[in-house]
Amino acid sequence: MKKRMLAVMLPVAAFVALAGTGFGVWVFNTTTAASKDASYNVANAVSVGALTLAPTNTGDDKIVLDGDTSKEDLTLSYNTTITASEVVGGGKTGGDTYSNWADNDASTTDIDVKYNFKVELKGGLNDYLTAAVACSTNKDFSANGTDYVKKYASVKASDKKTETYTITLAWKTTGSNVKPTTLDAYNTMLGAMKAVDTGIYITASVVSAALAA
């Protein structure tokens, strides 16, 4: 009886011992690296060139002071002109290797240009006259010597942008320096007009240029 029970128990014990040891795993690793080139692009650049100032038409840069109002001319007109230019950028397309450089297409850009247009009377002219400035090409022009912004849409290379200003002078109507009505008053005015630095000084400038807001 004892012999038979021992024979049954041994295989069971052997199985438990084998299952409890676990099984090992062999892990193999091959070290690798991957790389790609990212694409990059440099955007086009737009610049606003030098500003030019010139009479709108021949003779628009001269006033005439005359006792006969039908012959008197107290109006000046000037144009400012700027030219936009573009430098075309470009880039390279990445992937497994960079491709050759490719230029961007020419583009159009909306820009804001801040101007300043100033008229200053000096000497005898300032004593006797006033000056008012208007800009017929820009409703946002505010006042003589004050910065204002002009928006230009779809500007491309070589575009020329022109603003037109009208300067209207007028005789002062109060004080001692008014339009002469006698020879003595005329001689006094004439002496003032001959004073050093008397003149009509006009300054136009581009204060800044940027992408349109």
* Structure confidence at residue 58 (pLDDT): 95
Average pLDDT, stretch 121-134? 96
* Structure confidence at residue 6 (pLDDT): 47
Predicted TM-score (pTM) of the model is: 0.77
* Structure confidence at residue 139 (pLDDT): 87
DSSP-assigned letters across all residues of 34-85: ---BPPEEE--EEEE---EEEESSTTTT--B--SSTTT-B-EEEEEEEEEEE
pLDDT per position as a tens digit, 45-87 = 989 988 999 999 999 999 999 999 999 999 999 999 999 988 9
* Structure confidence at residue 32 (pLDDT): 81
pLDDT confidence bin for 196, thresholds 50/70/90: very high
DSSP strand pairing (148-155 vs 109-122): antiparallel
